[in-house]
Amino acid sequence: MTPSPEDLIKRIEGISKKDSDLIKEAYDFAWGVHKNTTRYSGEPYFNHVFETAKTIADFGMSPKTVIAGLLHDVIEDEGVLGEDIKNRFGEEVLFLVNGVTKLGKIRFRGAERHVGSLQKLFLATSQDIRVLIIKLADRLHNMKTLEHVPEEKRKRIAMETMEVYAPIAHRLGMGRIKGELQDLAFPYINPVDYEKVKKLAEPKRMEKNKSLSKIHKALSIELKNEKIHNVLTDYRLKHLYSIYEKLQRKDFDIDQIYDISALRVIVPTVSDCYRVLGIIHSLWRPLPGRIKDYIAVPKPNGYQSIHTTIFTGDGEIAEIQIRTHDMHDVAEFGIASHVSYKDKNAKRQGIKLPWNLNFNKYIGRKVEDKKLDVPDWVREIASIQEENPEIEEFYSNLKTDFFKDRIFVFTPGGDVVDLPVDSSPIDFAYRIHTDIGNHIFGVKVNSKLVSLDIRLQNGDIVEILTKEKNHPSRKWLEYARTVFAKRQIRNYLQKDKNNSK
Ligand code: MN
């Protein structure tokens, strides 16, 4: 079946006549430009940009963003001039297309081109988060068609997906695409374990679904009795790669993974969520210590839900997840649901953007409106490369500071700060502001004075005490873990040396 522009237009809620005409024009333009190019699979190149645009539309993005999806490869692969895009589709579309365009093949090669292009991507993203969203949609389709790519390239692309793009999706709260990217990369990176996990998980899942459907029936009746309306329920199947990660922590014992499938209950309001939890616990006995309230305390990437695990009464154990419709959107689409077109004027109930508790009030800094949707860490990545464009350091930085496992700790005021695992109070201080870092005098963790070299734990409340006359010492370089804090300390020591000359 040949794709048609209607397939895109119907996905965009409330689109105007003018915008749908512009989509048709972009469709024809992209078709014309790519018409003599094919993919490794032999299918028309156009299919790739069309699928990318479709994903972007499904994320709920604006018509301009969908157009940029259609045009995302016309500069890089077909040599269309930026000027031409600007004249036809405007400056906004050109900016987005330029943002995802790789560095020129002629001047840059190999690793330098890949990492350099990544730097360029983050620079553009720090001005407009939609650049990264387009890139993820592009990568998703490339991963779906990876089997056709020459073997020697496959593994590199799969690795990059696992090391860079899936963690980005995760940090942006885009749960659905993160899971898909990991599951698509998994068999290319580790085919043996992939098969092993699949064999373990599939029969278990069938079994689980049977007992979930019994619970589902009983619960539906009770929710009706209790007059909770507008309820959506579905089964959440845990992604294979995420099962694999858990299996590694549980000695490959599949029986210890209770959430291989889970029942999901989606209701209108936050108070409905707690009522549903009460109803569930009065019907089935919960497993002690396994009730997680991510509504009151969201995950660092913005995820909100209540999870509980119950004894089903027939020897089984099952997980149930409860959330509002808005929370569900955010859990699936993350940041995309905040910059979404259809919800431009909608106010989301009870949803807070954790990534922009960015201490602006604390340090009196003003951020342009447009940049408010850009998480701090994206801006931080962009600023690293402005200071130090060394290519290898940039890539390892990205992996250690930004994409490793994270903990979240609190300021005394209750704001959440997320940091890489093993961070010290020094990393925390610099994360809040360089001025705080440069004047650390002492630190209290959970109200107790502790030394500067401790490793912070998930959930710690951290208070930094400062004194004007206190300054970084060489020793701090050993205590700090993030490249960011180390660089600030080095900067300070260097300046200090110069001043005393
Ligand atoms: Mn592409």
**Concatenated DSSP letters of 345-359:** TPPPTT---GGG---
Contact in structure between 47 and 70 (CB atoms under 8 Å): no
Whole-Å CA distances, 177 to 21, 158, 221, 250, 449: 29, 15, 33, 25, 42
d(CA 207, CA 177): 26
397 in a structural domain: no
In angstroms, what is the span from residue 303 Cα to ligand 1's centroid? Answer: 29
3-state secondary structure of 467: coil
Cα dist. 161→113, 146, 297, 403 in Å? 16, 11, 29, 12
Which of 143, 164, 187 delimits the end of a domain? Answer: 187
Q: Are residues 221 and 83 in the same domain?
A: no
Flag whether 481 is in a domain: yes
25 C-alpha to center of ligand 1: Å?
A: 19
CA of 364 to the centre of ligand 1 (A): 40
The span from the CA of 299 to the CA of 221, in Å, is: 31
Is 214 in the same domain as 169?
no
| Same domain flag for 341 and 435 | no
Ligand 1 centroid to residue 76 C-alpha, Å: 9
- Answer whether residue 308 is part of any domain: yes
Distance 3 CA to ligand 1 centre (A): 17
In the prediction, which pLDDT does 282 show?
Answer: 96
Answer yes or no: pTM beyond 0.75: yes
Distance CA(372)–CA(365), nearest Å, equals 12
pLDDT at 187: 97
Identify the burial level of 105 via C-beta atoms within 10 angstroms of its C-beta, where 0-12 means exposed, 13-18 middle and 19 or more buried: exposed
Residue that terminates a domain, selected from 158, 187, 216: 187
Exposed / middle / buried, residue 331 (Cβ in 10 Å: 0-12, 13-18, 19+) = buried
Given 7, 77, 78, 222, which residue is catalytic? 77
Q: Final residue of a domain: which of 187, 210, 229?
A: 187
- Catalytic one among 7, 25, 76, 422? 76
Assess whether 246 and 143 both reside in one domain.
no
Calpha distance 304→241 (Å, rounded): 21
Query: Do 211 and 356 sit in the same domain of this protein?
Result: yes
Asked whether residue 399 is domain-assigned, the answer is no
Q: What value does the CA radius of gyration of the chain take, rounded to a whole number of Å? A: 25
In a domain, 391, yes or no: no
Same domain, 182 and 195: no
- For residue 141, the CA-to-ligand 1 centroid distance in Å is 8
- Alpha carbons within 13 angstroms on the beta-carbon side of residue 366 total 2
Q: Are residues 176 and 217 in the same domain?
A: no
If asked whether residues 39 and 24 sit together in one domain, one would say yes
Could you list the pLDDT tens digit for every one of the 501 residues in the chain?
678 999 999 999 889 999 999 999 999 999 999 999 999 999 999 999 999 999 999 998 999 999 999 999 999 888 899 999 999 999 999 999 999 998 776 677 777 787 888 888 888 888 888 999 999 999 999 999 999 999 989 999 999 999 999 999 998 889 999 999 999 999 999 999 999 999 999 999 888 888 899 999 999 999 999 999 889 998 888 999 999 999 999 999 998 898 898 999 999 999 999 999 999 999 999 999 899 999 998 887 778 999 999 999 888 899 999 999 989 988 888 888 877 765 444 444 334 444 443 333 333 333 333 444 677 778 778 877 666 657 777 777 787 777 777 788 888 987 778 888 899 999 999 989 999 999 999 999 999 999 999 999 988 999 999 999 999 999 999 999 888 899 899 999 998 888 876
Do both 81 and 151 map to the same domain?
A: yes
Asked if 314 is an active-site residue, the reply is: no
| 152 CA → ligand 1 middle, Å | 19
| Residue 138 placed within a domain | yes
Q: How far is the CA of 72 from the centre of ligand 1 (A)?
A: 6
> What is the distance in A from the centroid of ligand 1 to the CA of 73?
5
Residues 402 and 431: beta-carbon distance below 8 Å:
no
Active site residue 77: yes
Centre of ligand 1 from the C-alpha of residue 94, in Å: 15
Q: List the CATH number of the domain containing 250.
A: 3.30.460.10
Q: Specify whether 159 is located in the same domain as 296.
A: no
Element (H, E) at 489: helix 483-500
Contact 321, 305 (CB under 8 A): yes
pLDDT confidence of residue 501: 65
Phi then psi for 197, rounded to 5 degrees? Answer: -65, -40
- How far, in Å, CA of 485 to CA of 468, rounded? 19
Nearest of 314, 316, 307, 299 to residue 281 by alpha carbon: 307
- How far away, in angstroms, is 415 Cα from ligand 1 center? 38
User: How far is it, in rounded angstroms, from Cα 262 to Cα 321?
Assistant: 7
CA distance 72 to 434: 38
486: CATH: 3.10.20.30
Q: Residues 276, 338: one domain? A: yes
Residue 14 counted as domain residue? yes
Which is nearest to 219 in space by CA: 211, 429, 176? Answer: 211
Question: 194 CA to middle of ligand 1, Å?
Answer: 27
Compute, in degrees rounded to 10, the torsion defined by CA atoms 331, 336, 338, 341: -130
CATH of the domain at 60: 1.10.3210.10
Q: How far is the CA of 245 from the centre of ligand 1 (A)?
A: 29
- Mark whether 177 and 302 lie in a shared domain: no
Token reading at 415: 């704001």
> What is the predicted pLDDT for the residue at 468?
92
Tell me the pairing of strands 416-420 and 448-450: unpaired
| 138 CA to centre of ligand 1 in angstroms | 5
Q: Which residues, including other chains, have CB under 8 Å from residue 436's CB and lie 6 or more apart?
A: 429, 430, 464, 466
- The DSSP result for 188-229, as a single string, is HH-HHHHHHHHHHHHHHHHHHHHHHHHHHHHHHHHHHHTT--
Domain count across the chain:
3
Q: Report the greatest alpha carbon distance in the chain.
A: 80
What is the distance in A from the centroid of ligand 1 to the CA of 66?
Answer: 13
The enclosing H or E element of 49 equals: helix 46-58
With respect to residue 349, please indicate whether it lies within any of the assigned structural domains: yes
Q: Which domain holds residue 197?
A: 191-370
Q: Which long-range contacts (CB under 8 A, 24 or more apart) does 384-390 make?
A: 384/483, 384/484, 384/487, 385/119, 385/122, 385/123, 386/123, 387/487, 388/487, 389/119
For residues 156 and 137, what is the distance between their CA atoms, to the nearest angstrom? 18
